[in-house]
Structure 1
Amino acid sequence: MGQAMVAACPCGRVDGKARPLSYAACCERFIAHFDTTPAPDAEHLMRSRYSAFVRENADYLQATWHASQRPATLEFDAATRWLGLSVKDFQVTGEDRAEVEFVARYRIAGRAVRLHERSRFVREGGRWFYVDGDQF
């Protein structure tokens, strides 16, 4: 299968030559193999969570949400069309803490939406979890 035939990862990560990484080479390893392949840092977790939103994978989103903030259920709006992700900043803020600032763009019912957030993450038991975030 040629490079053009491989689906790009929804998170938008590119290789050293600015070519989009495939889903299989990027976020899929964390989402499909959550039990054995945790995201190595908060940025990878945030990107994989974006991909999970695009693919409507509630199980992964729930599993990677910190228990202190995890919603009981997740619902997806069928009218939402995710358009792209841009990571603006990634900072380690402590031994087991980090923040990621991002902009996620989507369209819902024909209206363009821009979600700009600085998200907080914690590492517990060797795994990163999304805690919460401040929207701009």
Structure 2
Amino acid sequence: MEIPDRVALGQFARERHVHYDVEREVVEGEHREVVGFRVRLFAAHGKSGPGTPMCPKCVELLRELQSFVERLVLPGEAASRTEIVPATPALYESAEDRNEDEVALTVHVRCQSPEHRQPGAGEDLCLRDVRERLEAVGVPRR
């Protein structure tokens, strides 16, 4: 797995305390089926003053996070199964550090292959490429 700009991406991840969480998308029917995952990435905005949605720093950080995701997650095998969900620049209180606010961006990962949808397949098959790329530049899952 080759990651272009690996050093720069890792530096951004460290400086902005980038981390992610995963939420399953399940379809109920005859059988419960995992059809995809929402991977939410968070980047620290800081609290250098009263942060408000749409503040210039918030908008710029969201642009930087989107560029980070485009360079890291979208290339490779996952490209045909991933899309960045358009985001509104909004601030969230950090669950990890009360002295930080964060911006968030969601990547939708579709599980297209039948083996991805098997009961018990979990995240391994569908998210492997995305998770490995995030971990390679030091982005932890929270």
TM-score normalised by L of structure 1: 0.28
Q: Which has the higher helix share?
A: 2
Name which structure has the greater RCO, CA cutoff 8 Å, separation 6+.
2
TM-score normalised by L of structure 2: 0.27
Larger radius of gyration: 2
